[in-house]
Amino acid sequence: MTRIASGNSPPTSSPVEEGLAHSAGATQSATNAAEATRLQAAPGDAGPDRPAPQLRGPVSRPSVDVASFAADLLRWEGSKPFMYADTRGFVTTGIGNKLGSAESSATLPWRHAATGQPATRAEVRAAFEKVEARYATFRAGHPDPKESASARYYERTTDLVLPAGSEEQLAIARLDNEFLPGLRRLFPSFEAYPPPAQRALVDMVYTLGVKGLETKFPTLVAACQRGDFVRAANNCHRKAHADEHHSGDARNIATKNLFLDAAVLTASVQTLPREVRL
């Protein structure tokens, strides 16, 4: 199970359709990789007319599309307006937003699903504790840590839900306050990266955390810092979890393709003819 997710489930696919989608994603990866390699190998002109490197040093004006990032996350994570426990037992809501504690959960605008009435702080704390207890019950019956319940397992644990739109607002706030500042620290030129690279890094940091990305994927981090998105594409594989939103390795393939798209865009800019750049 991944970490962020609203009430509508994505359409289901037949095994044949899923196989075709996986094959198409792998084919796209190969095509993008070949194009990125070809463009990187193409000689560029030397001297003062060559464009300045696009990925060196910070830029002064933000150029990120937070709403687009949230839409990408919603695609993979779905959105749950209720409380549930993630694969590690953390009480979570919305698009994988960890709630932290019963007390911090009470700051959100929870309502009773049947009546629409606001929940009291005591009711929110009680709901948080019920989800924790349900996770403990599941874990007692399933001691293998690789086994986990879907978010829907917790849907009827309490009757508290967030108002429509709150889940996306939580995700955007977390991107603005936590993940994007962390990415800008790791990658001083993040604002200048091609949009596909930004999207890939946001997806990775949202599932791994800033520290997890930095410590578990040092080769990818170093590659992105150099603007080497082909190498990043070859070092972005995360452990895949099959759940109700996506299956197998589809998310890893999509992330790899984003890095390869970024490599193609970067190489294209660096090999523009002199007369076009003037």
For residue range 206-217, what is the model confidence (pLDDT) as tens digits? 989 999 999 999
**Token match 């629409």: residue?**
116
**pTM here?**
0.70
- Which pLDDT does position 59 carry in this prediction? 37
* Domain-wise residue ranges, the chain: 15-75+168-277, 81-163
**111-112 vs 97-98, strand pairing mode:** unpaired
14-28, 204-218, 263-277, range with greatest mean pLDDT: 204-218
What are the residues whose beta carbons fall under 8 Å from the beta carbon of 1, sequence distance 6 or more? 86, 87, 148, 149, 150, 151, 241, 243
For residue range 47-89, what is the model confidence (pLDDT) as tens digits? 333 332 333 444 334 468 898 899 899 888 888 999 999 988 9
Return d(Cα 147, Cα 124) in angstroms, integer: 28
- Which pLDDT does position 249 carry in this prediction? 84
For residue range 166-187, what is the model confidence (pLDDT) as tens digits? 888 899 999 999 999 999 999 9
- Which pLDDT does position 41 carry in this prediction? 47
Q: Is the pLDDT of residue 124 over 50?
A: yes
The mean pLDDT value for 40-48 works out to 40
Q: Is the pLDDT of residue 251 over 50?
A: yes
Give 119-122's long-range contacts (Cβ < 8 A, gap of 24+): 119/160
- Which pLDDT does position 270 carry in this prediction? 67
